[in-house]
Amino acid sequence: MIKVKLRDDYREFEAGITPDEIAKSIGAGLYKAVCVCRVNGEVKDLRTPLNENCEVEFLTFDDEEGKRVFRHSASHILAQAVKRLYPEAKLAIGPAIDNGFYYDFDVEKPFSSEDLLKIEAEMKKIVKEDLPIEHFEMTPEEAIAYYKEKGEIYKVELVEEHADKGEPISFYKQGEFTELCAGPHIPSTGRVKAFKLLSCTGAYWRGSEKNKMLQRVYATAFTKAADLEAYVEELEEAKRRDHNKLGRELEYFTTVDVIGQGLPVLLPKGARVVQLLQRWVEDVEQKRGYLLTKTPLMAKRDLYRISGHWDHYRDGMFIMGDPDDEENECFAMRPMTCPFQYQVYLNKPRSYRELPMRLGETSTLFRNEDSGEMHGLIRVRQFTISEGHLVLRPDQLEEEFKGCLELCKYFLGIVGLLPKCTFRFSQWDPNNTEKYEGTAEQWDKAQAAMAKILADLEVDYEIGIDEAAFYGPKLDIQYHNVYGKEDTIVTIQIDMLLAEKFGMYYTDADGEKKLPYIIHRTSLGCYERTLAYLIETYAGALPMWMSPTQVRMLPIADRHQEACQKVADQLDALGIRAEVDTRSEKLGYKLRDAQLQKIPYMLVVGDQEAADGTVSVRKRGFGDLGVMNVDDFIKIALEDVATKAAW
RNA sequence: GCUGGUGUGGCUCAAUGGCAGAGCAGCUCAUUCGUAAUGAGCAGGUUGUCAGUUCGAUUCUGACCACCAGCUCCA
């Protein structure tokens, strides 16, 4: 007999019992729900025989680990179905991911949506067959021979990597299907009750563009059909918030074939929001000691030679002229502001008394992204960022870094994006010698400094290896969109290299010339991208203070237009953006339109209001607030704007 | 850049190897209306672009362009 510690108590069982059987003895509910278990803290299959006293914890689909295992097993079912229908398909890998799982196949012809339906039907059969999922092992030699014989070249590659570890190779088997896999897995295929194949796309083997492109089938799986339906509904909801659709529908931006990819046109509404954000950022930064600069959008290649962009970023630049012709001048649009803004510092000799020097600029940049990268307002070839460089003495680094972090958290907090953000400490990869400037000592120093600052500021971050800029480590603030995809919205970088390249010295108190540190940072990131996330976050219903149109006047009949215009003029004079709907339509029609346009306030004026000098106020999302004096409404509206309230 | 999908009035979508159609939006007229769609009429298209096949192409083929999903790359 062995003693097994369960959640609440100790129970005794025959040696050799499996966690599966224990779960069954506890209750049918648990038995049906459990996916995998932890034995003495280690995640194990439910069919692992227990031969000694131990502690067993059952994990269900509600546990992250349980969910992962469940979906990983679902990916095996997918692979099995594909092998049944397309025996020539070669298997690559099939892990669980955040919201589901995928499997990569090497097939002659990519799967069509009809193929996916067929595969899905075959998967249903496999689930119905309720095949036990059983673990077994082979020696590396056996495993390699086994896969070589089957022609599974990707599996051979994977096994070969494990071969020299001196460990047996772990396999799982369900029916006729055998899969190289470390596990663990659920006990049988019958438990995967609700799943859906979502899409099929290309993906490089092992994530490298040098390798063959495989076909990746994305899918998701749940234990209950209702949960699957809810997830599909969630995806639909995400589509409704998608900035790329909503932003075009609500006329924030558009794209034009003859202008080109990655060059969106900001329509009046989009341009207005960006202007509001820019003015706000510039004003706040001014109060925080930033000096506003305006530097050229292009320069001769000589500038980029000094900065290192010519060596490390040339493919990303728009170059005018022949870059290899040294006889004639060659210009390039700027992909970053740094080398330009440094010239402000270099304008004259600097004293330690001038540091920190905080330079800010609303800066337009040009990057020649690969054609497949562009996406709405998120990835574009021309964009404008709230740029800044802080030139400082080494002893000022922590304080100034802290100031930068606080500033962007302030901005992101007010616009309402901060709750969806996480932090990433982006470091260099010493093995990627092509990408980075500087010595290992310089990098270690810069990264150690940033690590200390982040620790002191108690920033909770993830580490991103090989995500650094070519001149230094970054703290990236990552925004997670409605589809769960993340992109950098704000970045703060420590640069201990470029000052020397540009000869940016200062005279210290001791009369010595010294090199400053430089912080590169944005405060609200790139305005196009930020606008996209605002549209998404608010589903197009931007907070009052940044709405392109804040108030729409709705006359009940044409005779009320004059009274409406009067109120609109009054609001305009106070800086509240108001317009009058002068169409000869019924109130319901105009109201519906204003509502669909997501205008924050709709003011209805009929005989009563025109006579009394009042307005009937309807607030987006709140409905009819009733009749009030124009002055009272103005008070509310100005308060909304002043407090930048989000509703 | 790579894999796949898509491309018909401003938007949503029909149709066809032989005169391209509807709803919404727009304009005009009538209606002057109280919190999410009043009625009638009018106008709007070289079917993404350019080639090819064909008596005839929006439909079939090819190239290019743009958009979408994903990979790779990045604010």
Distance CA A86, CA A107 (A): 8
Closest C-alpha among A365, A415, A413, A381 to residue A535: A415
- By DSSP bridging, strand A265-266 and strand A253-254 are antiparallel
- Strand pairing of A578-580 and A551-555? parallel
Q: What is the pLDDT of residue A178?
A: 92
In this prediction the pTM is 0.92
**What pLDDT does A374 receive?**
94
> Residue A541: what pLDDT?
96
CA of A157 to C1' of B33 (A): 75
pLDDT of A49 over the 90 cut:
no
pLDDT tier for residue A432 given thresholds of 50, 70 and 90: confident
Band (pLDDT 50/70/90 cuts) for residue A484 is confident
CA dihedral A399, A401, A403, A407 (to 10 degrees): -170
Q: How far apart are CA A483 and CA A231, in angstroms?
A: 11
A196 φ/ψ angles, rounded to the nearest 5 degrees:
-155, 135
- The proportion of chain A whose per-residue pLDDT surpasses 90, expressed as a percent, equals 76
The whole-chain average pLDDT of chain A stands at 92
* CA pseudo-torsion sign A94, A425, A242, A384: negative
Q: Counting beta carbons within 10 angstroms of the beta carbon of residue A157, is it exposed (0 to 12), middle (13 to 18) or buried (19 or more)?
A: middle
Going along chain A from its start, the domains and CATH numbers come out as: 2-60 (3.10.20.30), 65-239 (3.30.980.10), 253-537 (3.30.930.10), 544-643 (3.40.50.800)
Q: Tokens at residue A97, please?
A: 């991911």
**Nucleotide whose C1' lies closest to the alpha carbon of residue A526:** B75
| pLDDT per residue as tens digits for the range A89-103 | 999 999 999 889 999
Answer yes or no: is the ipTM higher than 0.90.
Answer: yes
The count of other CB atoms within 10 Å of the CB of residue A482 is: 19
- Evaluate whether A545 touches A641 at the Cβ level (below 8 Å): yes
User: pLDDT tens for residues A99-133?
Assistant: 899 999 999 888 988 899 999 999 999 999 999 99
Q: What is the pLDDT of residue A399?
A: 94
Instruction: Read off the pLDDT of residues A244-267 as tens digits, 9 standing for 90 and up.
Output: 999 999 999 999 999 999 999 999
Provide, in whole angstroms, the distance separating residue A76's CA from nucleotide B16's C1': 45
Strands A290-292 and A357-366: parallel
Contact of A36 with A69, CB cutoff 8 Å: yes
pLDDT grade for A7, boundaries at 50, 70 and 90: confident
Q: How far is the CA of A555 from the C1' of B41 (A)?
A: 26
Given a cut of 80, whether residue A4 has pLDDT beyond it is no
What integer is the mean pLDDT of A547-559?
96
- Chain B nucleotides near the protein (CB, 7 A): 1-5, 7, 11, 26-27, 29-38, 48, 65-75
Give the whole-angstrom CA distance, residue A295 versus residue A341. 7
pLDDT at residue A564, as a whole number: 96
- Give A417's Cβ-side CA count (13 Å radius): 30
Residue A596: which nucleotide is closest by CA–C1'?
Answer: B36
CB A103 within 8 A of CB A82: yes
Provide mean pLDDT across the span A535-539: 95
Distance A194 CA to B44 C1' (A): 48
pLDDT of residue A237 exceeding 90: no
Considering all nucleic acid strands, name the nucleotide whose C1' atom is nearest to the C-alpha of residue A203: B71
Nearest nucleic acid nucleotide to A215, CA to C1' distance: B3
CA distance A542 to A647: 8
- The gap between A443 CA and B27 C1' (Å) is 66
pLDDT at A575 over 90: yes
Q: Which nucleotide is nearest to A218 (CA to C1')?
A: B70
Instruction: Give residue A102's identity as a one-letter amino acid code.
Output: Y
